[in-house]
Amino acid sequence: MGEFILFTLIFVGIMAVSALIFGGWFLVMLVRGIAAFFGVRNEPTPIGPRRPGGVQIGPPVGSRRLCNYELCRAANEGNARFCRRCGRPLPAPMHAQVRRAAVW
């Protein structure tokens, strides 16, 4: 009889922990869904390409552009508007104003 009670207590404990974990996950997903519905995003602001150690790197060489999202970092063509891997919009390339001197 003692083994049955011990088994029942362990089973009820496991079920309670599982219900708490699932309930917490469900609440987080519900809040995220409501926030997404209202247009609130909780994404990090892309600062620029960074290495995993946090060291800033320069712009990509040639006509390649890196995705600014820190979990993607896919290399894209220079004229791409969206990342080929994650689909996020790429920042517009910066244009420098150039003065031209008259040449005789």
Please tell me the pTM assigned to this model. 0.38
Q: Give the Cα separation of 56 and 48 in Å (integer).
A: 8
3-state secondary structure 32-62: HHHHHHCCCCCCCCCCCCECCCCCECCCCCC
Question: From the CB of residue 34, how many other CB atoms can be counted at a distance below 10 Å?
Answer: 10
The three-class DSSP label of residue 25 is helix
Question: From the CB of residue 74, how many other CB atoms can be counted at a distance below 10 Å?
Answer: 16
The three-class DSSP label of residue 86 is coil
The three-class DSSP label of residue 91 is coil
pLDDT tens-place values along the chain, 104 residues long: 889 999 999 999 999 999 999 999 999 999 988 988 887 766 655 555 555 555 545 544 456 888 888 888 888 887 888 998 899 998 877 766 777 777 76
